[in-house]
Amino acid sequence: MKNIHSLILINTLIILCLLAIYFKVAYYFLFYIIISLLLIFNLYIILKKSNSLDKREEKQKILLHRIKNSISIIMGYNEAHNDGMISKEVYNENINQEISNIVNILKKELYK
């Protein structure tokens, strides 16, 4: 949210400088320098924000993949139990372990 406020502030300053130039305020050169610096800073913040979004998206994909793996394991145990390949005790133990694994994954990611 801090980056968004910075972008709004920088873009507002750019617009004000452009309006000052349009209405022919003195010190044109100073306003051109200010606009150039603000545009460079604006691009830097946009780049920084997009990189942070990319990293967050990558973390979410990894998290979803880990949860999907655990759910697939649970479904496999369920199918094995329905086919009579494993006992009820083994089924319950493995299901509870996978559920606790999912809960731990979510806790670790949510409470960082």
- CA 93 from chain center: how many Å? 35
Neighbouring residues of 95: CB distance < 8 A, sequence distance ≥ 6: 74, 77, 78
> Which one, of 94, 103, 104, 88, lies nearest residue 73 by Cα?
94
45-99 pLDDT, tens digit per residue, is 777 777 776 777 788 888 888 888 888 888 888 888 888 888 888 888 988 898 8
Neighbouring residues of 7: CB distance < 8 A, sequence distance ≥ 6: 42, 45, 46, 49
pTM of the model: 0.53
1-45 pLDDT, tens digit per residue, is 456 677 777 777 777 777 777 777 666 667 677 777 777 777 787
- CA 44 from chain center: how many Å? 18
What is the separation, in whole angstroms, between the first and last Cα of the chain?
18
